[in-house]
Amino acid sequence: MALGFRKQELEDLAISFIVLTLVFSRFELRLIPYVALGIFTAFVFHEIAHRQVARKYGYYAVYRRWDTGIMLALLLGILNKLLGLRFIFAAVGAVQVYSLYAGWEDREIYGKISLAGPVTNILVGVFALVLLLFGKFSGILWASLYYTAFINLWLAFFNLLPIPPLDGYKVLRWNPGYWGVAIGVAFLLQSLL
């Protein structure tokens, strides 16, 4: 397979992708196609970025879904829909990084691995945002670009919150300056939408 995915990893990614698509679309059938593109570019690209950077540094890395997070995302998503709230819980899994030396952690490498996902989201979000702001799109293309920009930039900001086990916690431990720039840029960009 192109990126060396195993069957279980693909299954975990697919289940997480479907759950996030349902939650971000607020269970509205008409929004699912647009949201699905946003989730694919935000969630799947984010996790692949973590995975590939970890592997670049010689770590074993694989995506694993978190069943408790999946249940929380679905239950909170349903409650949001019923009560008209806008809170999204998006912690449905993560790339697990394993070192040959159990218990040993290089803060710089883990910081770079953690930063790879949100930076990928920011880049994709900026690309979609630029097209939205300077292109003359309407209908399906406009909605696809909007949800791609919104979900990528929201996910970058959410993941950069300095709360364990989110990416922001590991980035902040490694380099507070990089963390500050990354979360500041993500917040600024997502607030444009």
Cα-Cα-Cα-Cα dihedral of 30, 34, 37, 41, to 10°? Answer: -130
| CA–CA distance, 55 with 97 (Å, rounded to integer) | 9
Q: Does residue 47 have an active-site annotation?
A: yes
**Do 113 and 54 touch, CB atoms closer than 8 A?**
yes
Show contacts of 20-23: CB within 8 Å, 24+ apart: 20/73, 20/90, 20/92, 22/74, 22/77, 23/73, 23/74, 23/76, 23/77, 23/88, 23/89, 23/90
Nearest CA to 94 among 133, 54, 125? 54
| CA–CA distance, 127 with 117 (Å, rounded to integer) | 16
Which residue's entry shows tokens 């500050």?
180
Computed on alpha carbons and rounded to an integer, the radius of gyration of the chain in Å comes to 17
The residue annotated as part of the active site, out of 9, 47, 105, 108, is 47
Active site residues: 47
